[in-house]
Structure 1
């Protein structure tokens, strides 16, 4: 058997093995994750009726895949690790759940998709970052505003929250993101007016 023929067969085998690996990877279903509401300290006062408006997220995060950072300017996209719903919708929903856990008993927190008509304060949130640094530390940077529905002055604040995951897994990263969102809910709950309209 000539040497060129041996090389040719080796090349065909290498291509076959590479194709088999790619096929195995593509047949593996992606893992799907969701943020979760976390416990927090309850604030006192009368029942409140806030509503969380649609949340703004950076375009680079507005995708099904979970985004990570491997440097100052380089982003990584985890093709087989995805969000269970659009990130903006998930943050809006979970923030409403977090606020419900922190506000006085009888409070009703809605979202712009579940308005009841009795909301006294609108919570507006714009995220500028919500992803990990290259060392895994979750960074949440946001501006939030409390806007009375009828009269009164709006209150605007900026915040930066960091959380370290317990390990390097994606599940731990998502839990740290949930914890950071819970801390944001603590700050928002503490800034809500204590005399909001009763239901």
Structure 2
């Protein structure tokens, strides 16, 4: 009797399970790459004639991020300090790759040079090697996104100085959703790229804030 009842209920249970799957919320994917706002005129690299060969290349090394931020989900602090993971809102790539990709895109665009980290540049090629260690990368719902990073630019096969700096970036969020958090984090990453670009443009002599959101917490040249 019980077996007959079980067989009778099986289709209903299966339908309920499938119905639950059908109502699962869709997953939204985000990237730190900002939408292209149209033609952008890069600042010519020092010594580069208009339309000529860039005098150096970029070698942007893999970015390091703190373990608590290195999650596939969008992470956001709530008002009570709890960090919430938004399982239906995810990065399109591992966070370290997202940050490196966004920095590469903006540095290449701003400086008008090439990033050769993924290919083998000639051994004697002049280049600036860029290293970034992200120490904080988070957002508070209804508050701000914070990007705290120590970075270094070092000349290879060309004149210049090694420059080591820390940049602390605060960008207000215009809401409390994952999409708003990503938008603020995009702006913070663009500002960091602009700050790093200034260090390269000065040949490692100094750096200037890439936007009003950036605080330079000290630079050490060598």
Residues 83, 181 of structure 1: alpha-carbon distance in 2 compared, 3 angstrom cutoff = same
Q: Tell me if structure 2 keeps the 8 A contact 1:136–1:173.
A: no
**Is 1:130 aligned to residue 137 of structure 2?**
yes
Q: CA deviation at 1:114?
A: 3.5
Larger CA deviation: 78-87 vs 41-50: 41-50
Aligned to 2:153: 146
Secondary structure of 1:171's match? helix
Report the Cα distance in structure 2 between the residues aligned to 1:90 and 1:149, rounded to whole angstroms.
25
1:13-162 equivalence runs, <5 A: 23=20, 27-37=24-34, 42-44=42-44, 45=46, 46=48, 47=54, 48-70=56-78, 74-103=82-111, 105=112, 107-111=113-117, 113-117=118-122, 118=125, 120-150=127-157, 153-162=161-170
Residues 115, 182 of structure 1: alpha-carbon distance in 2 compared, 3 angstrom cutoff = farther
Q: CA deviation at 1:86?
A: 0.2
Query: 1:80-107: CA deviations, max 9, x gaps?
Result: 111111000111111100001111x4x1
Secondary structure of 2:63's match? coil
Report the Cα distance in structure 2 between the residues aligned to 1:71 and 1:54, rounded to whole angstroms.
33
1:173 is aligned, of 166, 178, 181, to 181
Q: CA deviation at 1:23?
A: 2.9
Q: CA deviation at 1:130?
A: 1.3
- Higher RCO (C-alpha 8 Å, min separation 6): 1
The RMSD of aligned alpha carbons is 2.9
Report the Cα distance in structure 1 between the residues aligned to 2:178 and 2:24, rounded to whole angstroms.
20
How many residue pairs get aligned? The number is 175
Report the Cα distance in structure 2 between the residues aligned to 1:36 and 1:25, rounded to whole angstroms.
31
Q: Tell me if structure 2 keeps the 8 A contact 1:55–1:92.
A: yes
Secondary structure of 1:63's match? coil
Report the Cα distance in structure 2 between the residues aligned to 1:189 and 1:77, rounded to whole angstroms.
33
Report the Cα distance in structure 1 between the residues aligned to 2:133 and 2:80, rounded to whole angstroms.
22
Residues 138, 124 of structure 1: alpha-carbon distance in 2 compared, 3 angstrom cutoff = same
Residues 114, 66 of structure 1: alpha-carbon distance in 2 compared, 3 angstrom cutoff = farther
Report the Cα distance in structure 1 between the residues aligned to 2:41 and 2:142, rounded to whole angstroms.
29
Q: Tell me if structure 2 keeps the 8 A contact 1:43–1:189.
A: no
Normalising by structure 2, report the TM-score.
Answer: 0.68
